[in-house]
Structure 1
């Protein structure tokens, strides 16, 4: 995710969430007490659920033609239990649940906090197959007042599920540590086009509506799911090594946006020279006529606001560097997902690093100057947001407030320091090794530290501890003259990023 300095049209109203859940979920006689569970994430303690591992999701949405009505939906989850279970918790914070089946038999269900709690007819043994089918609604009108979920566009819908909003859209195990394959089916009236993560595997055209089916070839975190429904055009081109590249744009803007979209294949080739082969089956940009205040790295189909490409005050180098930021996430954050949300710096620090490196190499915007400016501000960022690998908890009612400057330029500053410390050849080897070793998985700060120490041939734990967990920014290797500014002079925000407000 890249938070950009364009105004945000809506205010966050997540405080409404808990009351809405109890109203919208139809209880079905689950024995009390049903309690919300979580996987122990420090920042989101009730996110995700223990006791099972999801292997795949099958999502089916039916769109009525207006983005002001709930979609009819069916979510099917194939999983495997990792412990004996009397109840199964799913993250699902809004929607009317019409029925639930567990392994083909009707199951009781109720709500608890932001969880949908299921009670199968009989307890489930550990190590057994688990199939859950939930028939429910998915409401874009409600979700737009929160920290994400459905995003209403001028002509339809898109998704923005980071950090923990996928469960506003569909029942799931909503934590990046439990990745799974996805099949997504969308039915919409004639005149609309639906696109989702992965590659198309089927289109069925009826007299009044069309159903599109997409499937991922690599596991994906729930927060990276994407569905676009609108009066759109799909533009296709070829990337490096024959990679299919497809972009989704408002039909009326096709000619205006084409010069920007044509840059993507060369940007992919640039990233491959830095980080290795592109890790997925396709890539492209979803350009939505909406205002969110951010761009988002949804897997294989990154979400961008239309105005990023149409406002004349944004210089070309700036727009291209943002495109590369979201592209870099396909390696760092998507293919290798964070083990916990405290590892967010691995996502945003790397994406910011390659954004800055691209601007340096392609447009002469000095990487060293940007890092020196970040160093001057780093102590203030740490005071306001915590150290890069130990960010402060999100503000009440503003879950997305974990996306602070310290995990963007503050974390990129650490990567610059690491390159200074171990040398450019070792650093470049580390970057490519990281995405190769952990491809299609989840990894955390300790994993990155251990790999860096192996690549460098020495223990870097002290260096990592000081830079990633310290309240003060350590001296910059090779730049003894760099000094942090006094707190009263430091600016909290980088010139091109802002927190959502």
Structure 2
């Protein structure tokens, strides 16, 4: 993404979508005016995921119903989307793949539909006027089978979701880009001996015959990549957090006693984070511990996903486990409440979560922050060569959509925050962090927004300082540490 040191750009998403519309229009001209083009996959212009998101509308709410039978069978599903058209729509696209579509309705009237790449192209019976609200209902399946692309993740006794960064549309149709956040309602029917937990608060439960239907609603908008539905033989211990915050964890029932040693630490983790950046931003929180192999932990909104092995496998020191828990908790502020405007802004998510992970280990376990940052500085040039600079990461490796999660967006981006704190001082940096999460709560923000706010809070234009840190191929000198040296790059 080109560097833009100016102020906030509230029209950024709309301009991306207009660009996508122009691209589609150009394609139509190439095909000739005699007949309209066939269904095309489109996106909103994200450099890393060009086909994610869809032009022409903003989603306000999702209402998604799943019927679960077994973790190796497709779920029957109905996704209802309430949206507002931002331009006149004779047709529109939804991101969706890895399921079959049985019927589509727009405002209660059957609509035509066709697949195009990983898009579902919908043609309503009547064009939708710009500025008007509309509802689209899709009857479909949601298939948990298949590996390596994200979406549903099978566990020993059920399913969980891992939709980051490009996999929400493998579970349900929608506008699968973090710039279009919306409210969610989940209605999940499963055998009554299983437990279902999803983002947000419980909103009802009823049993009929052999099945129970569970309903959950979010009170804050959420990006599709942060959706979570956990189905399995789970215990759901509950406790109170700071200022009465509702906490509920989801753990394998047989492991509840052993895992309570770790989940009981969450209230103190939240108190620590609130002391750094302000009040927790959502209606509740919990730790979801799944008997699954993902290779990562994930900040699904209000219910962070962890692999069971992190807590029960020997060899991980306690300080390390807690710092990882704090990493995912920090994402509730950085990445969930304040979401990236485009995926090139990922460093704002992972750099901040890594920063607070490292700061927690520094304060609670004596793992010196300065030592970690010095080590990161030594590796930073190689990380930039391998993955690009923090705010302009290289594109994903073909067939590996999560390959954008390279070291440069973790410790390499925390290093940017360390450099900024070195330049503006700890007090100004703390004000910046608190102001960032307060000003952009429940919204999206960009790298340019962060640079502008750093300049505002510090009282000095920081764009010239941050540009090479965020976009340079080589790591700039570290303020206050002229002796720090980046290691020579390895030959390609």
TM-score, normalised by the number of residues in structure 1? 0.90
Counterparts of 1:282-293 in structure 2 under 5 Å? 282-293=284-295
Q: CA shift at 1:93, angstroms? A: 1.4
Match of 1:50 in 2: 55
Match of 2:347 in 1: 345
Q: CA shift at 1:311, angstroms? A: 1.1
Q: CA shift at 1:255, angstroms? A: 0.6
Q: CA shift at 1:390, angstroms? A: 0.2
Are residues 118 and 377 of structure 1, via their aligned partners in 2, closer, same or farther at CA, if it must alter by over 3 Å?
same
Distance 1:101 1:67 in 2: 28
**Alignment counterpart, residue 72 of structure 1, candidates 72, 76, 99:** 76
Distance 2:200 2:120 in 1: 28
Match of 1:205 in 2: 207
Distance 2:247 2:36 in 1: 50
Are residues 193 and 422 of structure 1, via their aligned partners in 2, closer, same or farther at CA, if it must alter by over 3 Å?
same
Give secondary structure in 2 for the equivalent of 1:191.
coil
Match of 2:14 in 1: none
Match of 1:321 in 2: 323
For the pair 1:139 / 2:143, whether they are aligned, the reply is yes
Number of positions where the alignment pairs a residue of Structure 1 with one of Structure 2: 458
Q: CA shift at 1:204, angstroms? A: 0.6
Match of 1:24 in 2: none
**Alignment counterpart, residue 36 of structure 1, candidates 17, 28, 41:** 41
For the pair 1:367 / 2:359, whether they are aligned, the reply is no
Distance 2:37 2:207 in 1: 46
**Alignment counterpart, residue 410 of structure 1, candidates 409, 412, 431:** 412
Match of 2:160 in 1: 158
Match of 1:496 in 2: none
Q: Which has the higher contact order (CA 8 A, sep 6+)?
A: 1
Q: CA shift at 1:146, angstroms? A: 3.1
- Which stretch of the first structure deviates more once superposed, 30-39 or 295-304? 30-39
**Alignment counterpart, residue 463 of structure 1, candidates 458, 462, 465:** 465
Match of 2:277 in 1: 275
Give secondary structure in 2 for the equivalent of 1:40.
coil
Q: CA shift at 1:405, angstroms? A: 0.2
Q: CA shift at 1:147, angstroms? A: 2.0
Q: CA shift at 1:487, angstroms? A: 1.9
Give secondary structure in 2 for the equivalent of 1:304.
strand
For the pair 1:388 / 2:414, whether they are aligned, the reply is no
Residues 183 and 220 of structure 2 are in contact (CA less than 8 Å); yes or no, is this contact kept in structure 1?
yes
Q: CA shift at 1:32, angstroms? A: 5.1
Match of 2:13 in 1: none
Distance 2:182 2:435 in 1: 23
Match of 1:12 in 2: none
Give secondary structure in 2 for the equivalent of 1:117.
strand
Q: CA shift at 1:321, angstroms? A: 0.3
Q: CA shift at 1:190, angstroms? A: 1.6
TM-score, normalised by the number of residues in structure 2? 0.92
For the pair 1:86 / 2:90, whether they are aligned, the reply is yes
Give secondary structure in 2 for the equivalent of 1:140.
coil
Alignment root-mean-square deviation, CA = 1.2
Q: CA shift at 1:207, angstroms? A: 2.2
Match of 1:118 in 2: 122
Q: CA shift at 1:31, angstroms? A: 7.5
Give secondary structure in 1 for the equivalent of 2:160.
strand
**Alignment counterpart, residue 245 of structure 2, candidates 243, 246, 259:** 243
Distance 2:357 2:104 in 1: 45
For the pair 1:101 / 2:137, whether they are aligned, the reply is no
Give secondary structure in 1 for the equivalent of 2:374.
helix
Unaligned runs of 5+ in 1: 1-29, 493-501
Give secondary structure in 1 for the equivalent of 2:399.
coil
Give secondary structure in 1 for the equivalent of 2:429.
helix
Residues 196 and 214 of structure 2 are in contact (CA less than 8 Å); yes or no, is this contact kept in structure 1?
yes
Match of 2:305 in 1: 303
Are residues 255 and 31 of structure 1, via their aligned partners in 2, closer, same or farther at CA, if it must alter by over 3 Å?
farther
Match of 2:441 in 1: 439
Residues 96 and 169 of structure 2 are in contact (CA less than 8 Å); yes or no, is this contact kept in structure 1?
yes
Match of 2:10 in 1: none
Counterparts of 1:445-456 in structure 2 under 5 Å? 445-456=447-458
Match of 1:19 in 2: none
Distance 1:206 1:213 in 2: 14
Give secondary structure in 2 for the equivalent of 1:205.
strand
**Deviations along 1:453-499, whole A, 9 cap, x unmatched?**
0001011111110100000000000000000111239xx9xxxxxxx
Moved over 2 A (4+): none
Match of 1:6 in 2: none
For the pair 1:230 / 2:235, whether they are aligned, the reply is no
**Deviations along 1:192-239, whole A, 9 cap, x unmatched?**
000000000101122211000000000000000000000111010000
Match of 1:10 in 2: none
Q: CA shift at 1:399, angstroms? A: 1.1
For the pair 1:428 / 2:433, whether they are aligned, the reply is no
Residues 385 and 489 of structure 2 are in contact (CA less than 8 Å); yes or no, is this contact kept in structure 1?
no
Match of 2:400 in 1: 398
Are residues 31 and 136 of structure 1, via their aligned partners in 2, closer, same or farther at CA, if it must alter by over 3 Å?
farther
Give secondary structure in 1 for the equivalent of 2:237.
strand
